[in-house]
Structure 1
């Protein structure tokens, strides 16, 4: 059998827009192809989301305003017609809780209004901008409630507290720093938004364009120039190992990889909550695998040090190779030696290392030395701002401190869920940072996640989030946690987020208690950790016709969407993979008709799509009966551009199996699809692979579990197929080609 390669020769000047990498296929991309491809991506994105009209953010992200590749910015937004609601409860910030809740006499409290609307079984209409004092809680008694903006208006729900600063000059001779007192009720200022845009917490090195603009691999200190304190392996005591040896649970489709469910409880994984991870198990395996650990501190001679209050600093540290970043608060600071001993933190990624990679420091007054930065002195309750204009900050500027981490919490149980709640046409903003909150490790991917988001779903059925905007949130946008059935997020836009856009993440019984399920009795842990048949996971989650951009501003191990059905979306500008499937739990997902580009802008590995499947689980998704084998996932009719890493368009990493990747347009990248370290049963067919290093990289598989590569057009690929030297012999016998 033979693979046929079609080579497309295009003349022209070589492309110069954000193509990152030294590989020959990147350097030899003709500008004529690259420009027309970007114009096609623009047309495709507008077709997917006609409501966006000219779609300016997409236009500029594709660099179509440049002189050497110019397209016309045009298009009219499709109007969304919303029918009037004759009977409803009205709520507005200028209302009063003694009113009746009519349009002329609205209520003021969002919680009171939601309770009343649910009791009356009528919609709740929002007007104006709400600065929440407490999270809006919706339970089973709110089932069927519709929450929406008043037709023709756009209500905003903010998790921030609005300040009324009285700026006074602090240092306006060599800089332009101003200071104001902050009310005692504001205990911390980890984030600050001025006129709806983030300021940057005082840091070193500086970010010339501010926190909302990616520096790529810049704006960091080279981790190799610091001295890292080794991990403290005895800090939390010994780990307890568990490997599932039930014969019926043995996954026999891989070759010496990922056949058994295995975890470790306690030990260094005590930084997680619950304190459990595959990466603390007795024999973790995979690419670069070893037991979890993080450095205990760092010594570095900061140019503006020593710091007066170095113990208040926070250090953001990339894991070497930039697979994730850790954040550490400081437990002890030695001014004489410049040594920082880490305290809380190090739980933001699942994979560890003995040393840190590139890093920066923030929250020290001495680093308030660049326009756009701020510093809050919690002892004096004073806020300092290096104003990036001339003179004093405008007195009428909106100054908001994000305070609440969760704005709307929909929580029930699978036995008594929250049913049929709809949230429409509402903007959510200024949720507080969550990256220092408890994190857990889902299955055996590289990720650690926090169960916090602006809109949080757990124990729900048929919830709809429609036409909403998620902007300037310091954590995740939407978390679909635990038991959820048929949640839909559609026609919504996510931008400038600290974490992920949408996450779907379930539970199994790995520990006797779980803080994510308070009051629920868990049984047979840790043996029951392999068992995903009890329903405590999302099923039927759909993300459709959404846009997402500028995400992962704080937590770099983040994606636009994690583990859900993803259809007809446009997303770009993120630090890691665009879409992540963290494991093969159940499977059956569909990723179709999406435009994804400019991913992995700040990290190594991956591209537009990434998956792992290191940890087998027992589910009923494949056949309706308990099985360790997941249902096929399909990746089809997507437009993926791997212009930043560039490694793979579709990265089926460690153990990934049962994927059908077909009818996609895959542009750039080291490989169109890579399948390694125990992966198998990945079928790559009927794709167009344009200017990739090679079409497919595969590994050794067991008989009957081959990878397939056929029917694809490889346009000017350097290679068609190879076997990765890291996981199999240098041959192509493992792949079946037609």
Structure 2
């Protein structure tokens, strides 16, 4: 399926940004070019998001306050007419009363009570200033259709999933350190702690000099080669059941011998997922570095501050080798004499497996509370410890908030009875609880595993609008567009300091008889129906526009600003790109993330448009791609495809990284800087066209694989700026003589 990456300003890296994994030539980039490029990116970002004014976060991310490349931070925020108070409204306030009448003079207190009252009265729900702490999720059902939930004009309104901790600090170790303790009776766990709105760092080794909210790049980890990894236990969950769709009419016929058949495995080591199914447990997973899923079952390492008294409470964060994703493991068993950890729950946070782990760290043990800004909750003694990053005692009047509620607002209906036309406007969302240890599933056959949790969750909706909202310091995903959704729009909103993804769209097919995402429903024709995407249980026409996103993936490193799987766009072919065209990812500014900025996990239906974006400083903690990455290893049947048989494909180290099976990408009118390759297409990809782009300071112009006649890749009309020579890197054992490339350079 044709995809477009059009009129997009992608920046891969800047010369002084994290160096590991960067193209070899970056150090040779003239300082004058690098500086002017960053200034151009700053002006472009301000033009895309005028409401940000001077856009200070972008200014500092581009390092424009440095002596070597300095420009003034200028610009005034653009403000429109602003929201107006509805003539008919139910009001809710932090100091309201649920026995009130919901008028402005007698506001309600509970968001759920107020939302129900507003729906019954056909009124808007207006939130007054302050932080509305939730003790449980706000549910909006089909009965709430048409509801406008908005902040009172001109007031700052926050919905928090946290709960305040009442503290009475007493000295614990204030001679050699500055550690204080307070009673915290009644708490079962504290996986995260926000102090005056910013995260403290859970006690860990190695330490993070600037705290968890500041990326260490490739640092702050233990080299995976220094640990001794216990091999996978291949019989832990019994045998896997293989299924391969042999229906010839379902085959793709344009990828030679790559990814022609739909295939999955159910059970076996993929029992760590829910539902317990994955392409990576199928009989013949293929592609770059492909083999059946597995993870190590333990680790031995002599931590300098070990052995630990309560290692059973520890959690290990482990990169997969090559840093394609990370796993989290709780400890099932600990041998103090050998410091051997046997893994229990976890290992389900990425789709690709390995026999050993990569770089790692440990957290949540008292012995590692040794650095300013760290905290530790002793659940056995019900005490909270804080290594205060200041002098004297921690302030008693500060706000100490523990995230408790994972989903703040849940809009859930069905395809046959959807939640319609909900509008959420001008609200700040914060302190949703961590979800990285919750059940994950493997969406299609990309490298991802995802959890169907988010601060704002959509399933079974039509016409949802999220407008002018702020998603800040959420411990998991911000917005999840799950299953049946039509015309969801997220616009004019800002995402920052997230544990997972900013926006994820993820549909369903029937791969197993039950799925936790659709409780109580027996699914028909599984697993054969896994190939069938014609039942409508997937997002269509999802739009993310005029948004900013930065500092994401603080916990789950396989996170992006936008990711989609089993998701499609329009029913008609888009001939041209115009401001009125329905677009998927349009006019956004994304920077500072651990993996690819935008990710397409498959080519389900296709027709996506990604245009007018500024994307840079991605893959800060990993390698292999950059601003954009796609896969398409699994064929699907859809009713929304634009061309070809079966499913069509999606369109960056790389500028544009079209991984295994990706096809029909039209990548054009982009300014792409510092990539390892301008165009990368490997392992069965085809029909990808890279044209009318400026590619500056790349190691190679393109890396390609063999294609069959009539499905060649094209590379033409490209300005190759300062490339020493026209370099082609063969990505596969052979390169098709049919691959086309035409170029000019200056």
TM-score range, shorter chain: over 0.9
| Pair 1:422–1:332, CA change in 2 (3 A) | same
**Partners of 2:681 and 2:731 within 8 A in 1:** no
Shift of 1:336: 1.1
Matched, 1:424 2:425: yes
Cα gap change, 1:417/1:627 in structure 2, threshold over 3 Å: closer, same or farther? farther
SS at match of 2:118: helix
Contact 2:410 2:456 in 1 (8 A): yes
Residue 692 of structure 1 aligns to a residue in which SS?
coil
Query: Is the alpha carbon distance of 1:603 and 1:550 closer, same or farther for their aligned partners in structure 2, counting shifts above 3 Å?
Result: same
CA apart distance, 1:632: 6.8
1:205-216 equivalences in 2 (<5 Å):
205-216=206-217
Superposed counterparts of 1:252-271, under 5 Å: 252-271=253-272
After TM superposition, give the deviation of residue 402 of structure 1 in Å: 0.3
Structure 1: gaps spanning 5 or more residues: 1-13, 634-641
Structure 1 position 695, deviation (Å): 1.9
Q: How does 1:472-491 map to 2 (within 5 A)?
A: 472-491=473-492
Q: Residues 588 and 630 of structure 1 are in contact (CA less than 8 Å); yes or no, is this contact kept in structure 2?
A: no
1:573 aligns with 2:592: yes
Conserved in 2, the CA contact under 8 Å of 1:693 and 1:719?
no
Partner in structure 2 of residue 629 of structure 1: 647
Report the alpha carbon displacement of residue 718 of structure 1 after superposing the two structures with TM.
Answer: 3.6
TM-aligned CA distance change 1:446 to 1:15, over 3 Å: closer
Comparing 557-566 with 499-508, which one deviates more in the overlay?
557-566
Aligned residue for 2:40?
Answer: 40
- Judge conservation of contact 1:471–1:496 (CA < 8 Å) in 2: yes
- Name the counterpart of 1:620: 639
User: In the aligned structure 2, how far is the partner of 1:15 from the partner of 1:631?
Assistant: 33
Please state whether the residue corresponding to 1:161 is helix, strand or coil: strand
Q: How does 1:281-430 map to 2 (within 5 A)?
A: 281-430=282-431
Displacement of 1:42 in angstroms is 0.2
Q: Which residue of 2 aligns with 1:445?
A: 446
* SS of match in other structure, 1:75: coil
C-alpha distance 672-464 of structure 1, shift in aligned 2 (>3 A): same
* 2:700–2:729 contact (8 Å) kept in structure 1: no
* 1:42-98 CA-partner distances (Å, limit 9, x unpaired): 000000000000000000000000001001101000124222323200001100000
Equivalence map 1:8-407=2 (5 Å):
15-18=15-18, 20-21=20-21, 23-80=23-80, 81-127=82-128, 128-184=130-186, 186-407=187-408
Distance verdict in 2 for CA 1:101–1:21, change over 3 Å: same
List alignment gaps of at least 5 residues for structure 2.
1-13, 568-583
Distance 1:434 1:263 in 2: 26
Q: Residue in 2 aligned with 1:559?
A: 560
Answer whether contact 2:23 2:675 (CA < 8 A) is retained: no
Match of 1:607 in 2: 626
Per the TM alignment, residue 165 of structure 1 is displaced from its structure 2 partner at its CA by 0.5
Match of 2:613 in 1: 594
Q: How does 1:635-674 map to 2 (within 5 A)?
A: 647-674=653-680
Specify the SS of the correspondent of 2:664: strand
Cα shift at 1:28: 1.5
- Counterpart CA distance in 1 for 2:232 and 2:677 is 36
Q: Is the Cα contact below 8 Å between 1:25 and 1:718 reproduced in 2?
A: no
Q: Distance between the aligned counterparts of 1:623 and 1:527, measured in 2? A: 24
Secondary structure of 2:497's aligned partner: strand
Shift, 1:16, TM fit: 3.9
RCO higher in structure (CA 8 A, sep ≥6): 2
Give 1:712 deviation, angstroms: 1.0
Residues 373 and 147 (structure 1 numbering): CA distance in 2 closer, same or farther, change over 3 Å? same
| 8 A Cα contact 1:621 1:630, kept in partner | no
**Cα contact 2:696–2:720 (8 A) shared by 1:** yes
Structure 2 vs 1, CA of residues 696 and 207 (structure 1 numbering), >3 Å: closer, same or farther? same
Contact 1:614 1:655 in 2 (8 A): yes
Structure-2 change in CA distance of 1:562 and 1:22 (3 Å): closer
Per-residue displacement from partner, 1:406-450 (whole Å, max 9, x unpaired)?
000000000000000000000000000000000000000000000
Shift of 1:109: 0.5
Q: Distance in 2 between matches of 1:651 and 1:16?
A: 23
CA distance, structure 2, for counterparts of residue 719 and residue 689 of structure 1 = 13
TM-score (norm 1): 0.95
Q: Distance in 2 between matches of 1:719 and 1:348?
A: 41
What is the aligned partner in structure 1 of residue 9 from structure 2?
none
Q: Is 1:722 aligned to 2:728, yes or no? A: yes
Does 2:546 match 1:545?
yes
In the alignment, structure 1 residue 737 sits paired with structure 2 residue 742: yes
Given that 1:588 and 1:631 are in contact with CA atoms closer than 8 Å, whether structure 2 keeps it comes out as no
Q: Does 1:460 align with 2:461?
A: yes
Query: Are residues 247 and 280 of structure 1, via their aligned partners in 2, closer, same or farther at CA, if it must alter by over 3 Å?
Result: same
| Aligned CA distance change for structure 1 residues 145 and 218 (closer, same or farther; 3 Å) | same
Native 8 Å contact 1:694 1:718 kept in 2:
no
The Cα of 1:163 is off from its aligned counterpart by 1.3
Query: Secondary structure of 2:323's match?
Result: coil
Q: What residue number does 2:707 align with?
A: 701
2:509 corresponds in structure 1 to 508
Q: Work out the CA distance in 1 between the residues paired with 2:214 and 2:152.
A: 34
Equivalenced residues, count: 710
Distance 1:521 1:225 in 2: 47
Judging changes above 3 Å, is the alpha-carbon distance between structure 1 residues 483 and 350 closer, same or farther for their aligned structure 2 residues? same
Distance in 1 (CA, whole Å) between partners of 2:724 and 2:21 is: 15
Structure 1 residue 732: Cα displacement:
5.8
- Cα displacement (A) at 1:27: 1.9
Provide the rounded CA distance (Å) in 2 between the counterparts of 1:198 and 1:16: 27
Distance 2:609 2:411 in 1: 26
> Would you say the 8 A contact 1:699–1:723 is kept in 2?
no
1:5-24 deviation per Cα after TM superposition (whole angstroms, max 9, x unaligned): xxxxxxxxx95455555644
SS at match of 1:720: coil
Q: Secondary structure at the match of 1:113?
A: helix
Cα distance in 2 for partners of 1:606, 1:725 equals 14
Q: Does structure 2 conserve the Cα–Cα contact (< 8 Å) formed by 1:721 and 1:732?
A: no
Distance 1:41 1:374 in 2: 38
- Residues 154 and 732 of structure 1: CA distance in aligned 2, closer, same or farther (over 3 Å): farther
